[in-house]
């Protein structure tokens, strides 16, 4: 008699192993059918979303903003390979720089993204890149409920991953060029009972600078716990971040010609720096600003939020988040302009930041027939402290001063700012003709008030407000054919004034008193029209837009940027931006995806302005740091656990003066990623290998411009405000999940 | 930079020779990647889930079932002769053991019990896949291929009604639900339950709803013959874009 292991026996064994709860009476030999997969796509109004799987193909630690580069209208530059170095990383959408966009994490505001943070922090400090579940970009009209008072040109919303359903420990180890290493460890509890699950992750990353001397390192802890009850959920998230970044030198077109692409600050050659401070220059150096001994940025952040997403009834949902953020920051610059009491001609000049802010964001959404109504508010109270101090040094040992310094021998200024933000919004999203037509009408009303006091020095004190009664937004989305969708949107936005080192209070009291009354916040009007198509394995979008930007504020440097004399906030009139952008994605054969995007933007100043007594002829000139033409292409292959991806991005030339008499050329940047994932091997749930190469073709190129700000004119190319991009860097990663 | 747009690759003219080299390198790498892809692609052809080939030996047990209820075969004299010739023709070993009997059923088609003599001894009944006591006639041979296809259609039908509830998406609810359900011969669901919960009542209920909204075909005679209903289990994975 033949004995065959029957399906029945197998099913019974499986059931015995996986079964929870009272035994259901099964008829004999149940037949196991194929599995069914239900895949939920988070529906957002924006088309441009990048998911975890795509973000994970970049080198671990790669800035998610850098990952967005391939999207139309998006420009990113940085002088470090991973895009994390804050002094020289820049992100822009359609010519709007990162100070003019809104950034949120799980709805929580990340604030203005200036280097000198006054009300927020960079995404890299808020959450470990490995814990980001997706990024949504909205260009032009962003949701009226976005918690930001800077989103003139759109917003970028980050979302964190939820803890996994299953218990597991993940350890990932990366090694790469410039002695870079990254260790990421994460513990997922799985369902702990009572519908609650959590994760904790630890991250330590460090690298040498790719040129020059000094480390760039970060330590980070993330923890998240979620609890479900019915169709409601409570979430709590905590982030601790410690960052220490050694700075690269800022170059000028002229200094690069004299000193080369690998020119950097003098460290560890302290003698050379001391000589330069005394006016003794060697080896092609002709100015005390060609390089400094050393500089670094220290940032300590703590961030936490609690969110309750409650189903109030079959038609209403309430989403409320309470958050808190605390930051201490110090930027160190070994300045040759102020001698130390020790007798050395160099001292450490700091800019010291403190942020303590807390807030509430709440929205109520109700579905009434074909209308989705939502309304809510955002409130934030932010205390920001800003100081400039000078500290004594007795040697060139940079490790002796790699911490938060205290007991300065001099203080240039000390200011405190209390900023109160209220923003209300209301929106109706209605669908008609069986969901074919979607109309969105929204309105938001921001009210921001800053009270500043000046305790030391001669920077300004006083109060300034920025508010708008109603900022409207209209959006239309029409399903023209089953495959084609046309959309239109119009939005008005405002950017509130910022406290801090480069806001309206960074000028003298006299200048503030004279201008604050007439200073207007920046406002914009954006018109967007486009068409999207999806036919089988081909999707494409084409978009045309028009932006009128009024009361544009510019901080004009009046001396070498790093010397930090009070900048002057000027209202330079309007900027008009016209552009067209398109992208398509095509799968010619199974497992292969080809993506291309093309952007053409013309962004021009509309008026001349007065700088002191000089008339700056900016009218008709191109906006600084906004490439006119951009192109991105990416070829990806994925099959059975293996993936390979080759991408290239072109950015056209950019100007760094308002009169357009100085520019940097366009460049191509190529990168390669490849990896392999094995499931259930060696006792692990998953084992992954990954290889990433950034700047594959080892291009020398000007990456970030305007690190020290922009000036009206620089015909000889002598203004040190440029940084070149990193050469080819290779990263290898092994990660295992137990 | 007016020449930039004229150049097909929008690259500053002063980097000409370097550009060509860079492009050649880029093209070479792309060809390498494409070559690798083509290699992988050619190598692996997705295997459609195959139904295990019918084992001829399994046909043998049928006559063993047939022996108890004589009246039934009388009611279906027409049906029985059809399948008979086949088993007789194929299994060559059998004629060896019972050579005399094998040809008889073929010639005496109308005889009510032709199957019985053809396969009594040589094959002792291998373990029967379907142990249901047979109330139905011996005639309909169990259609394994059809059963596999029916199970496939059951899963497809439930899949047609799959949905990810907005609340679940909003709250990032994910998980696997194992459904156990019984379908009658007429194709209606007589019983349905959650064998393994996803941990979320909402997802469990959504899976059950999809099942209840499904309309299944009646089972043809060859599918699990003799069984008044059949129980199935299906795993429904709920996942979000991650």
Domain spans of chain A, in order of start: 48-737
Least Cα separation, residue A357 to chain B (angstroms): 27
Least Cα separation, residue A103 to chain B (angstroms): 20
Q: Report the C-alpha gap between A292 and A249 in whole angstroms.
A: 7
User: Residue A144's pLDDT is what?
Assistant: 80
- For the CA atoms of A40, A43, A47, A53, the dihedral, rounded to the nearest 10 degrees, stands at -30
User: Residue B98's pLDDT is what?
Assistant: 39
Residues B241 and A51 sit within 8 Å (Cβ to Cβ): yes
pLDDT in tens, A602-644: 999 999 987 766 788 999 999 999 999 999 999 999 999 899 9
Report the residue of A40, A49, A198, A431 to disrupt the B interface, i.e. the one with the largest count of B CBs within 10 Å: A40
Find residues 4-33 of chain A whose CB sits inside 8 Å of chain B: 4, 6-8, 11, 15, 18-21, 24, 26-33
DSSP symbol at A68: G
User: Residue B30's pLDDT is what?
Assistant: 59
Average pLDDT over residues B112-127: 42
pLDDT beyond 80 at A377: yes
CB contact under 8 A, B30 and A646: yes
User: Residue A562's pLDDT is what?
Assistant: 63
Q: Report the C-alpha gap between A171 and A686 in whole angstroms.
A: 11
CB contact under 8 A, A36 and B29: no
pLDDT in tens, A445-474: 999 999 999 999 989 999 999 998 899 999
Report the residue of B162, B171, B206, B227 to disrupt the A interface, i.e. the one with the largest count of A CBs within 10 Å: B171
Find residues 140-199 of chain B whose CB sits inside 8 Å of chain A: 147, 151-152, 154-155, 158-159, 162-164, 167-175, 178, 180, 182, 193, 195-197, 199
Q: Report the C-alpha gap between B2 and B14 in whole angstroms.
A: 13
Average pLDDT over residues B30-39: 57
pLDDT beyond 60 at B65: no
CB contact under 8 A, B126 and A24: no
CB contact under 8 A, A31 and B147: yes
Residues A192 and A224 sit within 8 Å (Cβ to Cβ): no
pLDDT beyond 50 at B85: no
pLDDT beyond 60 at B100: no
Least Cα separation, residue A467 to chain B (angstroms): 32
Q: Is A249 on the interface with B (CB under 8 A)?
A: no
The backbone region for B224, taken as left when phi is positive above 0, alpha when psi lies in -120 to 50, beta otherwise, is left
Most confident by average pLDDT, A331-345, A455-469, A551-565, B63-77: A331-345
Output the 3-class SS for A507-569: CEHHHHHHHCCCCCCEEEEEEEEEEEEEECCEEEEEEEEEEEEECCEEEECCCCHHHCCCCEE
pLDDT beyond 60 at A422: yes
pLDDT in tens, A693-734: 999 999 999 999 999 988 889 999 999 999 999 999 999 999
Give the CA radius of gyration of chain B: 30
What's the pTM?
A: 0.80
Name the residue in chain B with its Cα closest to that of A315.
Answer: B167
Output the 3-class SS for chain B: CCHHHHCCCCCCHHHHHHHHHHHHHHHHHHHHHHHHHHHHHHHCCCCCCCCCCCCHHHHCCHHHHHCCCCHHHHHCCCCCCCCCHHHHHCCCHHHHHCCCCCHHHHHCCCCCCCHHHHCCCCCCCCCCCCCCCCCCCCCCCCCHHHHHHHHHHHHHHHHHCCCCCHHHHHCCCCEEEEEEEEEECCCCEEEEEEEECCCCHHHHHHHHHHHHCCCCCCCCCCCCCCCCEEEEEEEEEEEECC
pLDDT beyond 50 at B64: no
Find residues 252-311 of chain A whose CB sits inside 8 Å of chain B: 309, 311
Residue scoring higher pLDDT (A230 or B83): A230
Q: Is A666 on the interface with B (CB under 8 A)?
A: yes
Which residues of chain A have a CB within 8 Å of the CB of B142? Answer: none
Tokens of B78: 């027409």
Find residues 307-366 of chain A whose CB sits inside 8 Å of chain B: 309, 311, 317
CB contact under 8 A, B26 and A670: yes
User: Residue A152's pLDDT is what?
Assistant: 87
Find residues 57-76 of chain B whose CB sits inside 8 Å of chain A: 57
pLDDT in tens, A244-271: 999 999 999 999 999 999 999 999 999 9
For A202, other C-beta atoms within 10 Å of its C-beta total 16
pLDDT beyond 70 at A561: no
Which H or E element spans position A39?
A: strand A36-40
* Strand A154-160 to A102-105 pairing: parallel
Which residues of chain B have a CB within 8 Å of the CB of A33? Answer: 151-152, 154-155, 232-234
Who's near B60: CB < 8 A, 6+ residues apart? Answer: B91, B119, B122, B123, B125, B126
Tokens of A654: 């950019």
CATH of A48-737, one of 3.40.50.1010, 1.10.10.10, 3.40.50.1970, 2.40.170.20: 2.40.170.20
pLDDT beyond 60 at B73: no
Note every long-range contact of A126-129, with CB atoms under 8 Å and residues 24 or more positions apart, other chains counting: A126/A158, A126/A239, A126/A241, A126/A301, A126/A303, A127/A158, A127/A160, A127/A222, A127/A239, A128/A184, A128/A201, A128/A203, A128/A220, A128/A222, A129/A55, A129/A60, A129/A61, A129/A62, A129/A63, A129/A64
Average pLDDT over residues B113-127: 42
Average pLDDT over residues B193-202: 91
Lowest mean pLDDT among A548-557, B109-118, B156-165: B109-118
- Residue A571's SS3 state is strand
Least Cα separation, residue B112 to chain A (angstroms): 29
ipTM of the complex: 0.74
User: Residue A553's pLDDT is what?
Assistant: 85
User: A609: buried, middle or exposed (CB in 10 Å: 19+, 13-18, 0-12)?
Assistant: buried
User: A536: buried, middle or exposed (CB in 10 Å: 19+, 13-18, 0-12)?
Assistant: exposed
B56 alpha carbon, distance to own chain's centre: 20
| Beta bridge partners of residue A365, listed in sequence order | A317, A374
pLDDT in tens, A29-70: 788 888 888 877 665 444 578 889 889 999 999 999 999 999
Find residues 208-227 of chain A whose CB sits inside 8 Å of chain B: 226
Which H or E element spans position A257?
A: helix A253-259
* Cα atoms in the Cβ-side hemisphere of radius 13 Å centred on A301: 30
Average pLDDT over residues A590-611: 91
Q: Report the C-alpha gap between A331 and A352 in whole angstroms.
A: 7
For chain B, give the longest Cα–Cα distance. 98
Tokens of B169: 């998406």
CB contact under 8 A, B4 and A52: no
Q: Report the C-alpha gap between A681 and A667 in whole angstroms.
A: 43
Most confident by average pLDDT, A512-526, B70-84, B139-153, B171-185: B171-185
Query: Which sign, positive or negative, has the C-alpha torsion A386, A390, A394, A397?
Result: positive
- Residue A593's SS3 state is strand
pLDDT in tens, A205-229: 999 999 999 999 999 999 999 999 9
Who's near A258: CB < 8 A, 6+ residues apart? Answer: A284, A285, A286, A290
pLDDT beyond 50 at B107: no
Percent of chain A residues topping a pLDDT of 90 = 75
CB contact under 8 A, A27 and B127: no
Which residues of chain A have a CB within 8 Å of the CB of B168? Answer: 40, 231
Where are chain B's structural domains? Answer: 58-118, 144-238
Which residues of chain A have a CB within 8 Å of the CB of B1? Answer: 652-653, 665-666
Tokens of A569: 């906030």
Name the residue in chain B with its Cα closest to that of A34.
Answer: B155
CB contact under 8 A, B126 and A4: yes
Residues B64 and B130 sit within 8 Å (Cβ to Cβ): no
Q: Report the C-alpha gap between A87 and A36 in whole angstroms.
A: 49
Residues A439 and A429 sit within 8 Å (Cβ to Cβ): yes
Average pLDDT over residues B196-217: 91
Pick from B118, B139, B133: nearest CA to B76: B139
Which residues of chain A have a CB within 8 Å of the CB of B4? Answer: 629, 652-653, 666
Who's near A194: CB < 8 A, 6+ residues apart? Answer: A227
Name the residue in chain A with its Cα closest to that of B170.
Answer: A42
Report the residue of A14, A32, A38 to disrupt the B interface, i.e. the one with the largest count of B CBs within 10 Å: A38
Q: Report the C-alpha gap between A358 and A304 in whole angstroms.
A: 10
- Residue A254's SS3 state is helix
CB contact under 8 A, A666 and B10: yes
User: Residue A461's pLDDT is what?
Assistant: 93
Alpha carbon of A216 to those of A116, A221, A244, A615: distances in Å?
18, 17, 6, 42
Q: Which architecture characterizes domain B144-238 according to CATH?
A: 2-Layer Sandwich (3.30)
User: Residue A19's pLDDT is what?
Assistant: 41
For chain A, give the longest Cα–Cα distance. 106
Mean of all residue pLDDT scores within chain A: 90
Residues B235 and B176 sit within 8 Å (Cβ to Cβ): yes
Find residues 72-101 of chain B whose CB sits inside 8 Å of chain A: none
Average pLDDT over residues A92-106: 92
Pick from A634, A149, A682, A696: nearest CA to A420: A149
pLDDT beyond 50 at B67: no
Q: Is A691 on the interface with B (CB under 8 A)?
A: no
Label residue A8 by pLDDT band (50, 70, 90). low
Which residues of chain B have a CB within 8 Å of the CB of A261? Answer: none
Tokens of B214: 């499904």
User: Residue A599's pLDDT is what?
Assistant: 96
Which residues of chain B have a CB within 8 Å of the CB of A696? Answer: 26, 29
User: Residue B5's pLDDT is what?
Assistant: 34
**Option in B36, B125, B229 nearest A644 (CB):** B36
CB contact under 8 A, A644 and B173: no
**Option in A30, A191, A629 nearest B232 (CB):** A30
Percent of chain A residues topping a pLDDT of 70 = 93
pLDDT in tens, A342-369: 999 999 999 999 999 999 999 999 999 9
* Strand A663-664 to A667-681 pairing: unpaired
């Amino acid at each position: 008699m033949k004995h065959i292991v029957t399906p029945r026996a197998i099913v019974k064994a499986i059931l015995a192993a996986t079964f929870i709860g009272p035994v259901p009476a099964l008829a004999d030999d149940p037949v196991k059918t194929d599995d069914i997969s239900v895949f939920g796509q988070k529906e957002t109004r924006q088309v441009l979303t990048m998911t975890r799987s795509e973000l994970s193909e970049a080198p671990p630690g790669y800035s998610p903003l850098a990952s967005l580069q391939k999207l139309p209208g998006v420009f990113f530059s940085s002088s470090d390979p991973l895009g994390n170095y804050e002094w020289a990383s820049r992100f822009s959408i359609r010519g709007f720089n990162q100070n003019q966009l809104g950034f949120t994490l799980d709805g929580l505001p990340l604030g203005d993204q200036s280097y000198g943070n006054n009300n927020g922090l960079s995404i890299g400090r808020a959450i470990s890149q490995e814990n980001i579940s997706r990024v949504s970009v909205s260009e032009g009209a962003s949701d009226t409920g976005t918690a930001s008072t800077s989103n003139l040109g759109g917003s970028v919303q980050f979302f964190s991953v939820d803890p996994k359903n299953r218990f597991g420990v993940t350890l990932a180890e990366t090694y790469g060029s410039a002695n870079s290493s990254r260790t990421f460890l994460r513990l997922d509890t799985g369902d702990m009972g009572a519908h609650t699950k959590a994760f904790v992750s630890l991250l330590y990353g460090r690298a040498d600078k790719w040129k020059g001397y000094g480390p760039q390192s970060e330590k980070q802890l993330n923890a998240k716990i979620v609890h479900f009850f019915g169709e409601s959920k409570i979430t709590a998230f905590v982030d601790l971040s410690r960052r220490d970044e050694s700075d690269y030198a800022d170059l000028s077109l002229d200094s690069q010609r004299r000193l080369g692409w690998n020119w950097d600050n003098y460290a560890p050659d302290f003698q050379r720096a001391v000589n330069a401070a005394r006016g003794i220059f060697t080896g092609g150096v002709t100015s005390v600003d060609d390089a400094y001994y050393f500089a670094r940025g220290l940032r300590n952040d703590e961030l936490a939020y609690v969110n309750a997403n409650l189903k109030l009834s079959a038609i209403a949902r309430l989403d409320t988040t309470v958050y808190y953020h605390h930051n201490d920051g110090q930027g160190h610059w070994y300045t040759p302009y102020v001698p130390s009491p020790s007798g050395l001609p160099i001292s450490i000049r700091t800019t010291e930041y403190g942020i303590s802010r807390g807030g509430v964001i709440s929205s109520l959404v109700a579905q009434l027939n074909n209308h989705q109504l939502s309304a809510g508010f955002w409130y934030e109270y932010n205390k920001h402290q800003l100081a400039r101090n000078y500290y004594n040094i007795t040697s060139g040992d940079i490790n002796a001063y790699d911490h938060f310094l205290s007991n300065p021998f001099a203080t240039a200024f000390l200011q405190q700012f209390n900023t109160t933000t209220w923003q209300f919004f209301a929106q109706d999203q209605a669908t008609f003709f069986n969901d074919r037509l979607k109309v969105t009408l929204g309105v938001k009303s921001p009210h921001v008030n800053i009270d500043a006091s000046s305790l030391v020095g001669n920077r300004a004190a006083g109060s300034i407000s920025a508010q708008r009664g109603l900022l409207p937004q209209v959006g239309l989305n029409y399903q023209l054919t089953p495959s084609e969708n046309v959309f239109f949107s119009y939005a008005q936005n405002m950017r509130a004034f910022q406290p801090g080192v480069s806001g309206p209070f960074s000028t003298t009291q006299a200048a503030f008193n004279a201008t604050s009354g007439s200073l207007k916040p920046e406002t914009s009007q954006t018109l967007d029209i486009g068409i999207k198509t999806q036919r089988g394995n081909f999707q494409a979008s084409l978009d045309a837009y028009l932006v009128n930007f009024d009361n544009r504020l510019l901080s004009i440097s009046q001396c070498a940027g790093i010397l930090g004399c009070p900048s002057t906030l000027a209202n330079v009139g309007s900027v008009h931006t016209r552009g067209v952008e398109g992208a398509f994605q095509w799968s010619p054969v199974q497992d292969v995806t080809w993506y291309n995007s093309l952007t053409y933007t013309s962004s021009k100043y509309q008026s001349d302005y007065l700088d002191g007594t000089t008339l700056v002829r900016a009218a008709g000139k191109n906006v600084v740091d906004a490439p006119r033409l951009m192109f991105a292409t990416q070829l990806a292959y994925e099959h059975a656990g293996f993936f390979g991806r080759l991408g290239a991005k072109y950015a056209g030339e950019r100007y760094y003066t308002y009169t357009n008499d100085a520019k940097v050329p366009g460049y191509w940047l190529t990168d390669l990623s490849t990896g392999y994932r094995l499931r259930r091997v060696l006792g692990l749930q998953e084992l992954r290998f990954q290889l990433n190469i950034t700047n594959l073709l080892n291009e020398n190129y000007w990456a970030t411009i305007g690190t020290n700000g922009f000036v009206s004119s620089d015909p000889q190319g002598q203004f040190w405000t440029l940084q070149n991009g990193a050469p080819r860097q290779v990263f290898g990663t092994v990660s295992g999940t137990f | 930079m007016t020449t930039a747009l004229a150049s097909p690759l929008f690259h500053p003219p002063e980097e000409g020779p370097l550009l060509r080299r860079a492009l050649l390198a880029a093209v070479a790498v792309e060809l390498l990647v494409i070559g690798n892809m083509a290699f992988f692609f050619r190598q692996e052809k997705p295997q459609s889930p195959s139904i295990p080939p019918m084992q001829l030996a399994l046909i043998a047990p049928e006559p063993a079932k047939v022996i108890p209820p004589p009246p039934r075969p009388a009611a279906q004299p027409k049906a029985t002769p059809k399948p008979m010739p086949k088993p007789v023709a194929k299994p060559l070993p059998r004629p060896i053991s019972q050579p005399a009997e094998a040809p008889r059923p073929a010639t005496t088609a109308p005889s009510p019990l032709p199957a019985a003599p053809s396969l009594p001894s040589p094959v002792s009944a291998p373990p029967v896949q379907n142990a249901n006591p047979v109330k139905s006639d011996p005639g309909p041979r169990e259609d394994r291929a059809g059963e596999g296809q029916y199970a496939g259609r059951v899963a497809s039908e439930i899949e047609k009604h799959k949905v990810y509830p907005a609340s679940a998406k909003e709250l990032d609810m994910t998980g696997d639900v194992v459904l156990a359900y019984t379908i009658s011969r007429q194709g209606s669901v007589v019983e349905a339950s959650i064998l393994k919960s996803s941990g979320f009542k909402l997802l469990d209920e959504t899976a059950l709803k999809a099942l209840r909204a499904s309309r299944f075909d009646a089972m043809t005679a060859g599918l699990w013959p003799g069984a008044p209903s059949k129980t199935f289990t299906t795993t429904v994975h709920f996942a979000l874009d991650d």
